[in-house]
Structure 1
């Protein structure tokens, strides 16, 4: 078994593509991809805020101050609406044809004296699929006028400040967040980290798995290996440990990469909130995250090797393995659902329990007793899958399809 393991490891280390996915991807590309996505996203949002938008006003004569307020917005450009457009259907068709970005209709009862003239209902015609930035700007303008008109109404009613507050908000819920800052931040981002870790571990094990089964079939070296005096179960174990080694290495590098970037961010390369959150995650938490990934990688290795043994070619093996990405995503999604916590039956659900545990470790609320359920269930499943892989490898009809 160890001879097979040593042989496969030597071949693995010669494969630059595999080494790239095991080491370079977690250390370099992982933070670059996330940082790049955040940078591009911020630029897109900034561009959407500064892009010029054309608009038309119906009933502008009822409120010159509202019309002027819209004109004062730098990215808004007022255009004249054709005189023959006056019905709701015609306005809708005009906006839908992209002749104008949006249309505002001001009602006849528009007045500063809302007590006398009633509630003001502005009608906004826009494409609901976009222009969210426009809506936010309009809401800001409407809020300003609403506050002003409320004050006018309160003055007419001769209400003091306390009476005004009571009228505006008769009932209020005052929240007291008993969670500390780490727990709050961990709840927000803790569910995403297992997704990236699982994907990188799976990717790190996928390439060597494809090569150790289907790849050997294509090269014709599998037959040579089978006629050696090594027992087949030892051949499978040697290949299994090689794939697991690649996956564990990816897991280790991933966790170390997160730890390194955590240290960098906590020393001043991020804002104060991120610094406090990152510096609160201890070394023990990172060690436990890595240890929990070991049986997960064993599950990946057993499944990947089984598929690779069954496949006729390297390309076919890749086709079988690609859907596993979606299979892995589902347990992580379960871990992000509200009400799913690391207790009861969820502590025994494979992959979901690990994702939940990683989330709890990041939050700092881990119940360490649940580690027995996590390691126990994951190890049992990994052992069962490995036993099936050995049985699968002993079938001649599978090896020589």
Structure 2
């Protein structure tokens, strides 16, 4: 068995395509994709906040103080348009034609005396499908005016500051959160980690699986291997171990690569608050939890490796094997999605549901709220399923009608 395993590993190492998917892809491509996505999102957010927006105003004569403050905003540019901009249809047409980015409609009852004017409604007509932060920038200005008007009205009524606060917010609900920072961050990040890890384990195992099963059929080397003085169970176990090794290595290399690139980014990116938080969050996780996450991935990889090997053995060609394996990527997301459903926790029957239990356990380990007693059910169910699937692979490989179909 180990001789065949060594032979399969050497063949994988000689295959440049496999090395790319197992080593180069996790070390370079995945971190670049994740980093590029984060950078792109940050740039879009920054551009939306700093982009100069053109606008027109209807009824500006009613709000001279508001107009002065709007003109002070460097990212706003006032334009004068023909037509009745107080008509919503005219305002919409101006925006659709690209004449301005938004139109502000000021009502005739606008005034700084709240007691006289009552509640004022400003209509902001814009294309909200575009990311431009127009409303948030406008609200920053109106909040200042609103606060000043409120204070002036309360002063005229002789209401002191304590009563002013009580009238503005009659009832305050103060939240006392018993969860620490790790648990709060883990509740968000903990659901993403199983998603990424499952995908990486499966992706890293797919190419080797297709090659050492269906690929050998195409090359005509499977018959030679079957004629060797090695029983078929050992052949299956060797191929299974090879696929599992590739899957685990891909996941491990990717995680270490992302961590390494994150440390590099911390050194060279000036505004690295998010990265600093992520680094501190990862540092708060105990090493034993990292070990348990890795150990739980082993039976997960075994499940994937068994299914992939069975598909590869059945397929007539490398291309056919890839066709069978591709839908498995979609099905692998289902356990993770179930684990993300609110109300589903690592209690009751869920520790016994393979794959979903691992996704839930990883989330709990990341949060620091893991009930370690549940590890018995988690490892028991996943190892049992992996063993059953591996036994099926051995049976499958012993069927001549499957090998030579």
TM-score, structure 1 normalization: 0.92
Supply the distance in 2 between the matched residues of 1:100 and 1:317 (Cα, whole angstroms).
55
1:241 pairs with 2:245 = no
User: In the aligned structure 2, how far is the partner of 1:390 from the partner of 1:157?
Assistant: 87
Deviates more, 1:31-40 or 1:289-298: 31-40
Structure 2 residue aligned with 1:126: 126
Partners in 1 of 2:374 and 2:132 — Cα distance?
Answer: 44
Instruction: Quickly say closer, same or farther: Cα 1:136–1:52, change in 2 above 3 A.
Output: same
The answer on 1:147 being equivalent to 2:150 is no
Task: Name the structure 1 match of 2:402.
Answer: 398
Q: Which residues of 2 match residues 1-400 of structure 1 at below 5 A?
A: 1-83=1-83, 86-254=86-254, 256-257=256-257, 271=273, 273-400=277-404
Mapped to 1, the partners of 2:312 and 2:179 lie a distance apart of 47
Provide the alpha-carbon RMSD of the alignment.
Answer: 2.4
With over 3 angstroms needed to count, the CA separation of the structure-2 counterparts of 1:261 and 1:122, relative to structure 1, is same
Q: 2:350 touches 2:357 (CA, 8 Å); kept in 1?
A: yes
Residue 365 of structure 1 and its aligned partner are, at CA, apart by 1.4
Query: What is the rounded CA distance, in whole Å, between the counterparts of 2:334 and 2:97 in structure 1?
Result: 41
Asked if 2 retains the 8 angstrom alpha-carbon contact of 1:112 and 1:149, the reply is yes
Structure 2: gaps spanning 5 or more residues: none
- Partner Cα distance (1:69, 1:352) in 2: 55
Cα distance change of structure 1 residues 137 and 266 upon mapping to structure 2, 3 Å threshold: closer
Three-state SS of the structure 2 residue aligned to 1:203 is: helix
* TM-score of the superposed pair, with normalisation by structure 2: 0.91
CA drift at 1:84? 5.4
CA distance in 2, matches of 1:123, 1:20: 55
Q: Give the whole-Å Cα distance in 2 for the aligned partners of 1:67 and 1:319.
A: 63
Please give the secondary structure, in 1, of the residue aligned with 2:124.
strand
Alpha-carbon distance in 2 for matches of 1:41, 1:62: 39
Q: Deviations over 1:14-35 (max 9, x none)?
A: 1233233333443444444333
Question: SS in structure 2 opposite 1:392?
Answer: helix
- Whether the 8 Å CA contact 1:266–1:274 is kept in 2: the answer is no
Is there any run of 5+ residues in structure 1 with no aligned partner, and where? Answer: none
1:264 deviates by: 7.5
The 8 Å contact of residues 346 and 361 in structure 2, kept in 1 or not, is answered as yes
Q: Return closer, same or farther for 1:181/1:267 CA change in 2, 3 Å cut-off.
A: farther
Deviates more, 1:372-381 or 1:314-323: 314-323
